[in-house]
Structure 1
């Protein structure tokens, strides 16, 4: 289902050399206590431009009979989901206080998002988001054409919600 990167031990959908897309970004001094609380802060109150992007994604993907994802839901469960449950449009693969592994897979591509929290000196924490994608066919490749440049912009904006700075 996933592998661990040999250098960082972060979860990936496939070996790094086999990935069709890889993006990793970290924020120092994360203001959240757990990865689940960080995820909730990042995905609640999505801006209108991101909601519009999800709407457009659903309309275009429907042409290839891809399931609508409808973006992030503003209301999250009070308690963290368990492995095997859904969190927004992702399947929860693993969850702990310091790691959340989310996956979305269909006949076109497999996406794995790993959110990891690491303690620094004192009470400071680093939060790292790793996105890895493996395309399965031409539509998967085509789907990633607009996602590739947009993903880092989206994630960087989401990370601002959990940073002390």
Structure 2
């Protein structure tokens, strides 16, 4: 299943932040299991994090620590033994904190002094899933940070979504 570039769904919680965003993108795939909650689909997506993504996160963490930014850990660093039903808003899920939790959409977020990131997985209709990312940059460091991150991000999200239906 090849992810397609699309628009952030209008019904998504993150859509309201688009007018002031410095970066935004969205990718759509077929929903391999419409019976799963948005968070369960998110966890399934994280379970398929390619090895090279976690190595890229290791490199990112080593570089940004020298700039005084936080080490996020690995994107795939999620406790896969914890069921989706046990997570609550505010809980850490891998590199993100759970910001919004509903059956049809989950929003993960991370904030630092240089930028705010929100990532949404939104079930749109019975058979589609859209992962959207919205970033607000606060300063020059954030702008410099996004120069290499934006193109890599456009590789990471589609590669993870392409594996979504291969994980059951």
Taking structure 2 as the reference length, the TM-score comes to 0.83
Q: What is the 5 A alignment of 1:60-71? A: 60-71=63-74
What root-mean-square deviation, in Å, do the aligned CA atoms of Structure 1 and Structure 2 show? Answer: 2.2
Structure 1 Cα separation of the partners of residues 159 and 8 of structure 2: 28
Unpaired runs of 5+ residues, structure 1, are none
Does the 8 A contact of 1:111 with 1:131 survive in 2? yes
Corresponding position of 1:75: 79
State the secondary structure of the residue aligned to 1:58: helix
In the TM superposition, residue 118 of structure 1 has moved relative to its aligned partner by 2.4
Whether contact under 8 Å (1:99, 1:114) holds in the other structure is yes
- Structure 1 moving runs of 4+ over 6 Å: none
CA contact (8 A) 2:110 2:118 kept: yes
- Within 5 A, what are the aligned runs for 1:41-60? 41-60=44-63
SS in 1 for 2:128: strand
Aligned length: 156
- SS for the counterpart of 1:12 is helix
Q: Indicate conservation of the 8 Å contact 1:27/1:163, yes or no.
A: no
Q: Secondary structure at the match of 1:94?
A: strand
Query: CA 1:135/1:106 → structure 2, altered by over 3 Å: closer, same or farther?
Result: same
Moved more, 33-42 or 135-144: 33-42
- Where is the helix percentage greater, Structure 1 or Structure 2? 2
- Tell me the residue number matched to 2:123: 117
Matched residue, 1:28: 30
Structure 2 residues without counterparts, runs of 5 or longer: 1-6
**Partners of 1:29 and 1:117 in 2: CA distance:** 8
Identify if the C-alpha distance between structure 1 residues 94 and 146 changes in structure 2 by more than 3 Å, giving closer, same or farther: same
Q: Distance in 1 between matches of 2:44 and 2:53?
A: 15
Give the superposition deviation at 1:152: 1.8
Using the TM superposition, give the Cα deviation of residue 129 of structure 1 relative to its aligned residue in structure 2, in angstroms.
0.7
C-alpha deviations, 1:109-129, integer Å up to 9, x for none? 000111101233xxxx21011
Hey, what does 1:103 align to over in structure 2? 109
Which has the larger displacement, 32-41 or 93-102? Answer: 32-41
